[in-house]
Amino acid sequence: MSAKPNEQFWIEHLMRRAGFGATPDELKHYKSLGYHGTLNELLHPESIDNSKLERTIAEQGFDFLDPTDLKRWWILRMAFGKRPLEEKMTLFWHGHFATSNRKVRNAYAMYLQNLLLRKYALGNFHDLLLAISQDPAMIIWLDNQQNRKGSPNENYGREIMELFTLGIGNYSEADIKAAARAFTGWQTRHTDFFFNARQHDYGVKTVLGTTGNLNGDDVVSLLARKPQTGKHLAKKLITYYAVDEPQASYVNEVAAVYQASGGNMRRTVEAVFKHPDFCSEKSYHAKIKSPCELVIGTIKTLQITKLDGDLPSALARMGQDLFEPPNVKGWDGGQAWISTDTMMERFNFATRIAQDKFDAMEGYFSPSQLIYRQGLTNAKDVVDYFLNLLVDADVPESTRQRLIFYVSTSGQSREGKKATNQELLDAKLRGLTHLIMSLPTYQLC
Amino acid sequence: MDISRRNFIKASLGVASFFLTPMEIMALAAQAANGQTRRAGSKVFVIVQLAGGNDGLNTVIPYGAGAYYQARRELGIEQAKVIALNGKLGLHPNMQPLADLYAQKKLAIVQGCGYANPSRSHFRSIEIWQTGDPAKIADTGWLGRYLDFAQLEGGKSSGILLPAVNVDPILPKTLSANKVTVPSVSSVYDFRFRVDPKYPEDRAQQLEAFNDIYSNFNLRRPYVDLLRKVGLDANAASDYLLKVVRNYKGNQQYPENTFGRGLKFIAQMITGGVSSQIYNISLQGFDTHANQTRTQAALLKQLADGLSAFQADMEAHGVGSDVIVMTFSEFGRRVSENGARGTDHGTAAPLFVMGSAVKGGIYGDHPSLTNLDDGDLKYKVDFRQVYATILDRWLQADSHQILGAKFDTLSFV
């Protein structure tokens, strides 16, 4: 860490985790609230006016029947919304109840599912689990449309236990078969939930030791209140927000809040951010940024206002194709984000953001204007400014020296002509931004 | 550079030197570029994962058994359409190219592959197949441990930039190793270190700065070592692989889909002399809980067309007997179809091994269709017997060490 961590330092850390980073103006606002004030605001998104975002969205005229528009819509929300934790939780639930439009093939149903995940983002888990069990996209995704009396389809019955609630090892194959029967007849019709009573199995079933004429509602209630569910969710939330390999005590404390609050996600998530391990050396720059964190964080830090239409495919190449997670388990995250392939994509995203794509006014950002506004004149100050801005100056001294050397070395412009000072400065500042965004630390969250 | 000297330095320091300096990497890339490449005749193994759980019974079809048609009233494939291999078994109608390879004795079918106490969870069962360990959650993959083994044996993959290549976007656990990091390259054209096109002369300076910074990037944070290693590898490999692909000569047509393009890329690397012994690729979408017929038919066509194109390409380049390909899936599917013209998660299934060096034929017994374990097939061949065969008889490794136990090998190679 660059200096002795103070409250402001941890607010920046909180925003990288509970949100997608923050713009300089947003940081000023959060720092005025203090850590607990910030956390409180994040946990109560309903109290924050988000109408500017909604107006921006309305101006874009998105077509929610178009899968690519849907992805752009969500990126816009993540980049310009004022309720970062709500958006970050929505992404968490998308990875948890991972549904892919590659199979659903109905962008509008995916859009409705996304609204549902946002609505319950910090709500009660039982309510969310029930709503997702009746969600048309989910019903198509895990084949519950074809789960009929007399010939049950086990797909939903299995994944609701293995992935959505208890976790593997906490149920038997017989539990899965019985749960599948309880969800028979839970279908979708015209992008709506439809209970097909003729296909529902009203017989007696035993799920996790409870016997009766159980239906889907009963199974949802049973699963939501099991302590294993709290533990499973606690571990996933902590690894999503705080550290990749949490101490058992951290998991147990968060799980206990889940249990005591009856599955209140606002309280459960609050416990993740209030735990001493969250604001600690164990957690600081200790996670790999997801592609969304990398891309949206860059947009915020550099205050980029122009979003390219192909950002969704850039995210996909980095391994996070929104609305198309790799499978029902969602994204593994952590180390799995990094391969030579995805690393190269990250480097190339850096190039693209840093490069002078349009003229200076219309580009992603203008580094020379930025340093002019900051009143910076020498290479050392410029390097320190960008290192602070982009990576919290969390780099070895050798890196800093090498960057200063890079910026100070004059190059040749194209066609062998000596560059004008202006051109050289622009090239070097853009190269510097590219190099800093390609550093190991820039991949850390 | 002198590889044995590098090993000596490592040994004398008593630690595995995990990192190559940029100079070492450039030297290795230059070696490769200068023709110090895969030794002629050295063995290559391509592993194909059929992700989602392929329905084995509708791939290699026991069309001679009445029980098959009883269990598969909707999904059963009519006898007349099955491509018969013998009086009992046949291939799915879309797999004629593989039937041709079977007739040429270049395709082995190992029936009933699985393991005891099978997991019907996709994720656990994939992990079991990828790690080769049904008992506990292992950290490394079976081929990753092979790569570690080959490095210790000295020279086979030691200090080599590309010990194996994964052509999927995500590295499967199959290739997780302790001492070797396997690169993933799904599209070679996206795999390039780019700079601002307005200032092309600055590229050399940026690359130089990048390499210097990365080689000296000592920061005590989790993942920094990994990021450093992967970042350096990515840059070193990108120019080299692009050159390999551009130098490829061949007119074999591959299917126009991700799987076909991936196989072609593997063929380009093998024929271009890349030193890798192991390649990984997957074909996605086999989780057919509903309306299976069309989905599976399309996938099996991609599989058969892709594999046969690859085999023809290998033969055309005179390396047919250096390369074998194996398919696998995390599980087969339930014997009885479900009510949705689909099948639920099951257990044992057949797998394919293809290559000019393969002894074509059918290996293992077909599991009974009536003596079932809770509706599922009982496995006949432990999947680790197949792995042991590949390790001992193809890669000349020590399967006992890599798999942690001794398994009887089969004779398909």
| Minimal CA separation from B321 to chain A, in Å | 30
Nearest CA to B93 out of B79, B81, B75 is that of B81
Identify whether residues A264 and A195 lie together within a single domain.
Answer: no
Range B15-35 average pLDDT? 45
Identify whether residues A421 and A349 lie together within a single domain.
Answer: yes
Average pLDDT, chain A: 93
Chain A contacts of B187, Cβ < 8 Å? 341
Weakest mean pLDDT among A191-205, A337-351, A386-400: A337-351
Please give the tally of structural domains in chain A. Answer: 3
| Minimal CA separation from A248 to chain B, in Å | 18
Nearest CA to B159 out of B176, B179, B141 is that of B179
Chain A contacts of B218, Cβ < 8 Å? 396, 398
Look at residue A307 and tell me if it is in a domain. yes
Chain A contacts of B122, Cβ < 8 Å? 327-329
Identify whether residues A209 and A231 lie together within a single domain.
Answer: no
Range B249-256 average pLDDT? 94
Identify whether residues A251 and A341 lie together within a single domain.
Answer: no
Q: Which residue has the tokens 């996709």?
A: B122
Q: Contact at 8 Å (CB) between A96 and A61? A: no
Query: Does residue A68 belong to the interface with chain B, where contact is any CB pair within 8 Å?
Result: no
Hey, how many other C-beta atoms are within 10 angstroms of the C-beta on A382? Answer: 23
Identify whether residues A209 and A253 lie together within a single domain.
Answer: no
Weakest mean pLDDT among A54-68, A281-295, B4-18: B4-18
Q: Which of A102, A177, A340 to mutate to test the interface with B (most CBs of B within 10 A)?
A: A340
* CA A122 to each of CA A88, A102, B111: distance values in angstroms, whole numbers, following the listed order: 10, 27, 50
Of the two residues B219 and A357, the one the predictor is more confident about is B219
What pLDDT sits at residue A373? 85
Tokens of A239: 């690894």
Residue A393 is part of which domain span?
A: 291-443
What pLDDT sits at residue B137? 86
- Mean pLDDT is highest, among A51-60, A265-274, A424-433, B336-345, for A265-274
CA distance B60 to A347: 45
Residue in A150, A155, A411 nearest the CB of B202: A411
From A224, A241, A265, the end of a domain falls on A224
Identify whether residues A333 and A420 lie together within a single domain.
Answer: yes
| Minimal CA separation from A284 to chain B, in Å | 9
Identify whether residues A62 and A205 lie together within a single domain.
Answer: yes
pLDDT score of A417 more than 70 = no
pLDDT tens for residues A181-229?
999 999 999 999 999 999 999 999 999 999 999 999 999 999 999 999 9
Q: Which residue of A has its CA nearest to B161?
A: A340
What pLDDT sits at residue B136? 87
Q: Do A146 and B194 touch (CB under 8 A)?
A: no
Average pLDDT, chain B: 88
Of the two residues B35 and B116, the one the predictor is more confident about is B116
Range B253-272 average pLDDT? 96
pLDDT score of A342 more than 80 = yes
Range A335-343 average pLDDT? 92
Identify whether residues A45 and A61 lie together within a single domain.
Answer: yes
pLDDT score of A413 more than 80 = no
Identify whether residues A139 and A80 lie together within a single domain.
Answer: yes
pLDDT band at A420 (very low <50, low <70, confident <90, very high): low
What pLDDT sits at residue B18? 35
pLDDT band at B150 (very low <50, low <70, confident <90, very high): confident
pLDDT score of A248 more than 50 = yes
Identify whether residues A430 and A318 lie together within a single domain.
Answer: yes
ipTM: 0.93
What pLDDT sits at residue A356? 64
Weakest mean pLDDT among A183-192, B239-248, B297-306: B239-248
Identify whether residues A220 and A302 lie together within a single domain.
Answer: no
SS (H, E, C) chain B: CCHHHHHHHHHHHCCCCCCCCHHHHHHHHHHHHCCCCCCCCCCEEEEEEEECCCCHHHCEECCCCHHHHHHCCCCCCCCCCCEECCCCCEECHHHHHHHHHHHCCCEEEEEEEECCCCCCCHHHHHHHHHHCCCCCCCCCCHHHHHHHHHHHCCCCCCCCCCCEEECCCCCCHHHCCCCCCCCECCCCCCCCCCCCCCCCCHHHHHHHHHHHHHHCCCCCCCCHHHHHHHHHHHHHHHHHHHHHHHHCCCCCCCCCCHHHHHHHHHHHHHHCCCCCCEEEEEEECCCCCCCHHHHHHHHHHHHHHHHHHHHHHHHHCCCHHHEEEEEEECCCECCCCCCCCCCCECCCEEEEEECCCCCCEEECCCCCCCCCECCECCCCEEHHHHHHHHHHHHCCCCHHHHHCCCCCCCCCC
Look at residue A285 and tell me if it is in a domain. no
Q: Do B222 and A327 touch (CB under 8 A)?
A: no
- Mean pLDDT is highest, among A401-415, B150-164, B245-259, for B245-259
Q: Do A340 and B200 touch (CB under 8 A)?
A: no
pLDDT band at B191 (very low <50, low <70, confident <90, very high): confident
Of the two residues A99 and B35, the one the predictor is more confident about is A99
pLDDT score of B154 more than 70 = no
Q: Contact at 8 Å (CB) between B340 and B114? A: no
Identify whether residues A257 and A215 lie together within a single domain.
Answer: no
